[in-house]
């Protein structure tokens, strides 16, 4: 029952943001006697669709809610934001609506942000590709009769079975694609043996970033990047740790060939053993007969918004890097490591986020070579919550919820952090000597705050560092701070 209560409270905040991006609405009492409606038990929340006329019957956040006192916030956070052993924390807290700085500790100092850097790709993808964009995996007629070409279009969340319309992982299924291909081949009068070719030429350059440690690749933290893959380059969608396929595109192509063989048996079609890559420069194009390159079948991915939700919630390294390359494609840049980084950073410039000091060696956050400041991360989150580009609002629901979802699902479980459970929404980040937490929270007075905290040079494995971040964010959730 406790988890259900927290979940209802957590879901209230993004809905309120969607209703009123500028946080205008019925004013809340300036000195509430109890927590606001976003922090109440489910029994006190409006019945969905009733009452105020806003979505779900909820009131939007109010711009008239009091802003916490900066000196009080600083005093409370100074007491909690302490390292366990070596290293130090930087950080910033801002009022989301006005940008007023409520806490600043070395906020402009660039540091290794670990997976907090994924926030940059999330914003760039929503701006460049758009929340509703889908990626297509296609089968086209090959360069010779009896050949078909499986063509990757950026969907690395393919499922091996039939398409699952209500899912993100497996939204597009290879079994469904194979069945559609058989129907198209039968309609064209094709019978006999079919040879499957693979076109994964959408991306360019090395498939692995030079910034990645070979140990991380071997451990499955990431894998060579391709524009199509099963299960975000996992052998089993239920197993999200351990080694990944070294050639995720070929693994997907072989799975498609198996599904095509099964689907084609009743139609008199057989599939030649083995899958070969389409030779470079041999991309199918319409021939004199109009067949080569003709679209035979297609499945589409979940939306970019849904994929951004997944990569933030689960901190999926592979999906993040592929999304960065798709941003590069949409920006007219090479779909390479360097092209992806350049395309993402270009979007920060267009958002007017100062980024001259920022350094990005990858987009997943697997290297200490990345350098981002707490203020830059906070600025990205401010753009998502209150910026003028409303496409960025789609990222908000993907932030893990303290004590409930994603990489925060097992945190905020003790008395020192329970005030933040169900209320703090933040992207986590962890490397051996790095820990970070950046996100947003509505305080006890109904004021939306954004924050970013980054620890570098920390003692590896020191449990107190994660607890310090969680306690600090919990202070903000409970803050009246006046």
Q: 3-class SS at 140?
A: strand
- Torsion sign across C-alpha atoms 361, 108, 221, 249: negative
3-state helix, strand, coil in the chain (%, to 5): 35, 15, 45
> 62, 90, 118, 355: which is the annotated catalytic residue?
118
Rounded to whole angstroms, the Cα distance separating 416 from 468 reads: 10
Q: 159: which DSSP letter?
A: B
Q: Is 438 considered catalytic here?
A: no
DSSP string, 303-363: PHHHHHHHHHHHT-HHHHHHHHHHHHHHTTS-SSHHHHHHHHHHHHHHTT---TT-B-S-S
Question: Which residues make Cβ contacts (< 8 Å) with residue 160, sequence separation at least 6?
Answer: 173, 174, 175, 230, 255, 259
Tokens representing residue 242 in the block:
């351990």
DSSP string, 76-119: HHHHH---SSS-EEEEEEEETTT--EEEEESTT--B--GGGGHH
Q: Is 118 considered catalytic here?
A: yes
> 62, 90, 115, 378: which is the annotated catalytic residue?
115
Convert 412-459 into a string of H (helix), E (strand) and C (coil): CCCCCCHHHCCCCEEEEEEECCEEEEEEEEECCCCCEEEEEEEEECCC
Q: 3-class SS at 261?
A: helix
> 62, 261, 301, 315: which is the annotated catalytic residue?
315
Residues known to be catalytic:
115, 118, 315
């Amino acid at each position: 029952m406790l988890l259900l209560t927290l979940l209802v409270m957590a879901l209230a905040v993004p809905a309120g943001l969607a209703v009123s991006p500028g946080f205008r609405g019925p004013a809340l009492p300036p000195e509430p006697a109890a927590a606001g409606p976003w922090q109440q038990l489910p029994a006190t929340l409006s019945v969905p669709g009733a009452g105020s006329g806003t979505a779900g019957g909820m009131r939007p956040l109010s711009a008239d809610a009091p802003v916490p006192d900066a000196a009080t916030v600083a005093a409370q956070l100074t007491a909690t934001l302490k390292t366990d052993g070596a290293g130090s924390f930087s950080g910033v807290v801002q009022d989301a609506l006005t940008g007023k700085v409520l806490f600043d500790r070395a906020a402009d100092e660039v540091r290794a942000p670990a997976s907090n850097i994924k926030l940059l790709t999330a914003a760039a993808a929503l701006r460049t590709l758009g929340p509703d964009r889908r990626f297509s995996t296609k089968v086209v007629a090959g360069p010779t009769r009896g050949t078909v070409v499986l063509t990757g279009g950026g969907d690395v969340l393919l499922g091996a079975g039939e398409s699952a319309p209500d899912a993100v992982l497996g939204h597009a299924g290879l079994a469904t694609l194979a069945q559609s291909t058989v129907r198209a081949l039968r309609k064209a009068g094709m019978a006999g043996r079919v040879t499957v070719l693979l076109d994964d030429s959408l991306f360019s350059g090395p498939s692995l970033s030079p910034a990645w440690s070979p140990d991380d690749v071997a451990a499955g933290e990431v894998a060579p990047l391709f524009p199509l893959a099963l299960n975000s380059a996992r052998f089993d969608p239920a197993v999200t740790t351990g080694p990944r396929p070294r050639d995720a595109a070929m693994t997907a192509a072989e799975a498609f060939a198996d599904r095509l063989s099964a689907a084609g048996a009743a139609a008199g079609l057989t599939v030649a053993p083995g899958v070969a890559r389409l030779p470079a420069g041999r991309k199918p194009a319409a021939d004199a007969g109009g067949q080569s390159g003709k679209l035979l079948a297609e499945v589409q991915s979940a939306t970019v918004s849904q994929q951004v939700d997944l990569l933030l919630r689960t901190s999926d390294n592979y999906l993040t890097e592929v999304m960065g390359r798709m941003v590069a494609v949409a920006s007219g840049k090479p779909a390479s490591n360097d092209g992806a980084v350049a395309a993402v950073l270009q979007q920060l410039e267009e958002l007017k986020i100062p980024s001259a000091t920022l350094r990005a060696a990858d987009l997943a956050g697997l290297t200490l070579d990345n350098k981002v400041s707490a203020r830059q991360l906070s600025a990205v989150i401010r753009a998502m919550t209150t910026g003028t580009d409303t496409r960025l609002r789609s990222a908000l629901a993907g932030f893990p919820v303290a004590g409930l979802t994603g990489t925060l699902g097992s945190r905020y479980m003790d008395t020192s952090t329970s005030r933040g459970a169900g209320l703090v929404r933040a992207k986590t980040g962890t490397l051996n000597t790095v820990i970070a937490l950046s996100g947003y929270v509505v305080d006890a007075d109904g004021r939306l705050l954004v924050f970013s905290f980054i620890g570098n040079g920390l003692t590896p494995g020191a449990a107190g560092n994660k607890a310090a971040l969680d306690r600090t964010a919990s202070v903000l959730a409970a803050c009246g701070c006046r």
